[in-house]
Structure 1
Amino acid sequence: MKQTGKQGAAGPDGTRPPVVLVDADGRALGEAPLVDAHTGRGLKHLAFTALLFDADDHLVLARRSATKPLWPGAWDGTFASHPGVGEPMGDAVHRRSGEELGLSVAGVPLAAIDYRVDDPAAGADAPFAEHEYCAVYLARLAPGDELVPDPGEVRGLRRVSLASLLEASPAVWRDHCPWLALALEALRCELSGARHERARAFDGALAALRSDGAGPALRAVIADLVPKGEWRVAPVLQNWK
């Protein structure tokens, strides 16, 4: 893994690059400004969430900055963002980890989620939502790797076992982004299917997802965090690397 400084996703005027709009199968339809894709019901667009595990199989969670327009201050997976127009998904993961955490990582796409959820903190006069076809990437911290979060993006870090997350109540989960629970459910479903070979490097970290109670626990959390039920485990796209 390569140590890096912030590369800067925003332009000189502070605007963010557009996102890639997609259909139900994840096929590109065009592009839209970032704000438009997250306003009202949102526009379905490509995204990723990345889960970074340390040598002790603990997941690194990142608390979102209080200045984030969506889910400010909530606990997220390690980092999440969107590929740029024409940018390969794996390259976007590598880029964004450097921007947010000061360390560029290479992840493995093991699952995907297709979901829409309203931000409960947004008022009725200015509703925001996430509406994403979202890749779930897993990565490992190498010995000696150091995370240096950008305070404009990340308020803090903590490390947890998946077992402890699965034991947490829905009330505790309300301090977390809903796509984290969705990503874990997608991983759980993938582990029970035929595409488990690429997950072997994460067997220890993901062991809790194979327990009998993992499915019911995650579905209870998801029912609370995604009350309209607008989500599904989606296919991993072949062009994700």
Structure 2
Amino acid sequence: MSPVEMVVLVDEEGREVGLAPKATVHTSTTPLHRAFSCYVFDTDDRLLITRRAADKRTFPGLWTNSVCGHPGPGETDRDAITRRGAAELRLQVHDVAPVLPRFRYRAEHQGVVENEVCPVYLARAVDPAAITPDPTEVADLRWTTWDELLDAVRSRPGTFSPWSRTQTRLMAADGQPSRYLVRRTAPALAEEGRTT
């Protein structure tokens, strides 16, 4: 029997105030809780976007970031990114870097509310060819460029999750992820022994 997945409830300052089973949290009165979003790039700076499975309780069938989820009790965001990346996509990442550490949002779809303190991260895929989506989580995936994603969000906003629409707008206004990608070029990764 699988253990019950718990989410961390927080107050307006982001301080932990309790725990709740994930299965009971997302309703019409969803309490504020911890989450994360991560945008994963390969070494050619292509970005992985995913489409949520059609039977997901929250925002089914919409395109979104590479991986998102909820850190468990006592779990860091980085550990949660590693765990959810492996579970949803068999994805391993490195060079996880925060880009919107104070991001928070509330959104509603078909009577179900998301209400999250949701820091945003960028990361690199260890082996993009090994990615295998779990169909109960991910209906489709695509490698694209940052500029192509921005164009798609602007031209077809209704096909993207509300958090990814806001996150991409904020990152674009701040020069992210281009500043991060310039800093994490292939020569820099090779110097660190990350590539051959």
Match of 1:61 in 2: 49
Match of 1:88 in 2: 76
Cα offset, 1:36, TM superposition: 3.4
Cα offset, 1:171, TM superposition: 5.8
Assess, with a 3 A threshold, how the Cα gap between structure 1 residues 76 and 204 changes in structure 2: closer, same or farther.
Answer: farther
Q: Size of the alignment, in residue pairs?
A: 182
Contact 2:92–2:126 under 8 Å retained in 1:
no
Q: Aligned match of 1:37 in 25, 29, 54?
A: 25
Q: State whether structure 2 residue 120 is matched by structure 1 residue 136.
A: yes
Moved over 6 A (4+): none
Match of 2:104 in 1: 114
Q: Aligned match of 2:170 in 169, 183, 186?
A: 186
Distance 2:89 2:124 in 1: 14
Gaps of 5+ in 2: 185-196
User: By percentage of residues, which structure has more strand?
Assistant: 2
Cα offset, 1:185, TM superposition: 3.0
Superposed, 1:1-241 pairs within 5 Å as 12=1, 16-106=4-94, 107-112=96-101, 113-119=103-109, 122=110, 127-142=111-126, 145-168=129-152, 170=154, 172-188=156-172, 190-191=174-175, 200-203=179-182
Could you say what secondary structure the match of 1:25 adopts? coil
Could you say what secondary structure the match of 2:34 adopts? strand
CA RMSD of aligned residues (A): 2.5
Matched to 1:179, the amino acid is W
Could you say what secondary structure the match of 2:35 adopts? strand
Match of 1:235 in 2: none
Contact 1:51–1:137 under 8 Å retained in 2:
yes
If the length of structure 1 is used for normalisation, what is the TM-score?
A: 0.68
Contact 1:48–1:80 under 8 Å retained in 2:
yes
Cα offset, 1:180, TM superposition: 0.8
Distance 2:128 2:172 in 1: 30
Distance 2:179 2:148 in 1: 21
Could you say what secondary structure the match of 1:163 adopts? helix
Cα offset, 1:203, TM superposition: 3.0
Cα offset, 1:73, TM superposition: 1.2
Distance 1:169 1:145 in 2: 26
Distance 1:148 1:130 in 2: 27
Distance 1:186 1:32 in 2: 30
Distance 2:135 2:156 in 1: 24
If the length of structure 2 is used for normalisation, what is the TM-score?
A: 0.82
Cα offset, 1:168, TM superposition: 3.2
